[in-house]
Amino acid sequence: MFASLSDRLSATFKNLRGKGRLSEADVDKTVSEIRRALLDADVAVPAVRAFTGAVRERAMSSEVSEALNPAQQVLKIVNEQLIEILGGEARELRFAKRPPTVIMLAGLQGAGKTTLAGKLGKWLREQGHTPLLVASDLQRPNAVTQLQVVGGQAGVPVWAPEPGNGVGDPVQVARSGLEHAREQYHDVVVVDTAGRLGVDAEMMQQARDIRDATQPDEILFVVDAMIGQDAVTTAEAFRDGVGFSGVVLSKLDGDARGGAALSIRTVTGQPVLFASTGEKLTDFERFHPDRMASRILDMGDLLTLIEQAEKAFDEKQAAEMGRKLSGEDDFTLQDFMDYMRQLRQLGSMKKMLGMLPGMGQLREQLENFDEREVDRVEAMINSMTPAERANPKIINGSRRSRIARGSGSTVSDINGLLDRFDQAKTMMRSMARNGGAMGGKGPMGMGGLPGGGKKSKGRMAPPPRTKKGKSGNPAKRAQQEREAAERAAAAGTSQPGSAFGLQQDADQVDPSSLQLPAGFDKMFGR
């Protein structure tokens, strides 16, 4: 969502590099470019004024003039002000002292409240709570049925005594849902209310009646992050008409400019508590202003990546993978495939790569990243026998042809996969032995995430292959020549990244500057 804003800000800071001292003109130009970038991102004017005013005041102070690196100091100031405009520190949900805690969802029709109710219910269940979803949206066609389906997918019960589609009293449903929760010992009640098609007086009154009947501990205003400054206008109307204690941003994975996220806290004074980042029920996360600011400035979001990795990898899996990568146990193609499957549990590869620092340099390649390439690699490995996966060295020319036919690929593809596997294994073991970025005990079980370690060791090439002499057997010699020709063809035609859609010119981008996890670039053919 923040791609355009991120690119504009990165270009602005790039112009400051190399300056030993910033003049007032430099500061004015920088602040002006930041102002234009924010306005282009559809950030509300009051928020832009507050933000640029604070940045300019701090940039003109001794805080920058006495700094050894003024450009980095300005970047630090912008980062801190972004955190401030996004809400400062992340706020926890307020739970009632005596359960059940009541959470009421409100917002415009089409903002994604019903789906978000399921996501919130699933998140609460994973936190150890026993939530109940209440279907008080009786206006929208099939809203009750949708909540029942979403609740079933999330593993959360739904209270739906009325069929909806214009039938039933939503206030009574909310009230009876609360009584049912007390009887069944549910500690959290999530009330899904009808959406409004704007500032509708009748629907606002209905929302106030539900609020008065249930006395919610939290009223969450669900806003579509793609509607820009209109989100702020709607939020003000809800704040004055019903009131709310927090905001949930839906559709944060869209291609809008992100003005709502950067405006709503400043204008309404209420914090953003959660963000919906995709269509799946698992695409839901706490909103951390510091992490979001880091994403906007292309500094990555490693903490969120680590949290997601810890959900996908248990300690036993991580320890076993760590032993294999350190060389204590053999790392096989079967392990390679299992590891890729575990990585996919984190969600979209594109989304995961986007959380890494410096990936703004590869934005175009990331946009063109084809998730199906992982399936193609998996098909190639699945076409191998258990013995071939355990010992790839036995895969000769005839075996490669058989694997290629079985997986619907070419011999060159098989050659490329085996070469990348050897390189990945060498690099990952090198990083594991040197502690990696996280002391060799990263959540992914492969020497940790970026940020440390010896780069020179991390980029060590695999030992050169010794050239074998030609066999005296004519048939074997012909086979060796065919394999050599196939390797030469693969080396000449395949480009770095072709197997996973991340093609790039090695002379244009320094791989070490991209800070991927240890061996990740080799594994995925970059």
Instruction: Please list, in sequence order, all residues whose beta carbon lies within 8 angstroms of the beta carbon of residue 415, skipping any fewer than 6 positions away.
Output: 400, 486, 487, 490
Report d(CA 136, CA 73) in Å as an integer.
51
Query: In the chain, what is the greatest distance between 2 CA atoms, to the nearest angstrom?
Result: 92
> In terms of domains, do 274 and 343 share one?
no
> In terms of domains, do 283 and 371 share one?
no
* Residue-level pLDDT at 465: 47
> In terms of domains, do 76 and 135 share one?
no
* Residue-level pLDDT at 360: 56
In a domain, 328, yes or no: yes
Report d(CA 497, CA 499) in Å as an integer.
5
Report d(CA 385, CA 457) in Å as an integer.
33
CATH code for position 60: 1.20.120.140
The angle formed by the CA atoms of residues 130, 352 and 277, to the nearest 5 degrees, is: 50
In a domain, 96, yes or no: no
> In terms of domains, do 364 and 502 share one?
yes
Strand, helix or coil for residue 393: helix
Q: Which of 69, 70, 47, 46 is nearest to 58 (CA)?
A: 70
261 near 298, Cβ under 8 Å? Answer: no
The pair of three-digit structure tokens given for residue 67, joined into one six-digit string: 């700094």
In a domain, 95, yes or no: no
CATH code for position 266: 3.40.50.300
468 near 479, Cβ under 8 Å? Answer: no
The distance from CA 323 to its chain's CA centroid, rounded to whole angstroms, is 28
In a domain, 373, yes or no: yes
In a domain, 404, yes or no: yes
In a domain, 431, yes or no: yes
Helices (H), 201-280: 201-214, 229-241, 259-268
Q: Which of 189, 248, 222, 243 is nearest to 113 (CA)?
A: 222
Report d(CA 348, CA 361) in Å as an integer.
19
> In terms of domains, do 397 and 512 share one?
yes
The distance from CA 470 to its chain's CA centroid, rounded to whole angstroms, is 51
> In terms of domains, do 268 and 330 share one?
no
> In terms of domains, do 13 and 78 share one?
yes
In a domain, 485, yes or no: yes
* Residue-level pLDDT at 215: 93
> In terms of domains, do 329 and 470 share one?
yes
> In terms of domains, do 149 and 167 share one?
yes
Please, what sign has the CA dihedral across residues 164, 170, 173, 178? positive
* Residue-level pLDDT at 292: 78
Q: Among residues 56, 85, 114, which one ends one of the domains?
A: 85
Question: How many CA atoms, within 13 angstroms, populate the side-chain half-sphere of residue 264?
Answer: 31
> In terms of domains, do 267 and 309 share one?
no
The pair of three-digit structure tokens given for residue 222, joined into one six-digit string: 């669900």
In a domain, 93, yes or no: no
**Residue found under tokens 């790569």:** 353
pLDDT in tens, the chain (526 residues): 566 777 777 777 777 776 667 778 888 888 888 888 888 877 878 888 888 888 888 888 776 666 657 777 788 888 888 888 887 777 889 999 998 999 999 888 778 889 999 999 999 999 999 999 999 999 888 899 999 999 999 999 999 999 888 888 999 999 999 999 999 999 999 999 987 665 577 778 888 999 999 999 999 988 887 766 667 777 788 888 888 998 888 877 655 556 667 777 777 788 889 988 888 888 888 888 888 777 777 666 566 666 666 666 666 666 666 666 666 567 788 888 877 777 676 666 666 666 666 655 565 666 666 667 778 888 999 999 999 988 888 999 999 999 999 999 999 999 988 888 888 777 766 655 555 443 333 333 333 333 333 333 333 344 444 444 555 566 666 666 666 655 554 443 333 333 333 333 333 333 333 333 444 444 444 4
The pair of three-digit structure tokens given for residue 345, joined into one six-digit string: 């549990």
Q: Among residues 247, 265, 299, which one ends one of the domains?
A: 299
Q: Among residues 85, 117, 142, which one ends one of the domains?
A: 85
Considering the entire predicted model, what is its pTM?
0.62
Domain that holds residue 393: 305-523
* Residue-level pLDDT at 88: 77
CATH code for position 314: 1.10.260.30
* Residue-level pLDDT at 486: 56
Q: Which of 159, 163, 164, 152 is nearest to 176 (CA)?
A: 159
> In terms of domains, do 243 and 278 share one?
yes
Report d(CA 159, CA 180) in Å as an integer.
8
Pairing of the two strands 272-276 and 284-286? antiparallel
Domain count, the chain: 3
> In terms of domains, do 454 and 324 share one?
yes
* Residue-level pLDDT at 451: 33
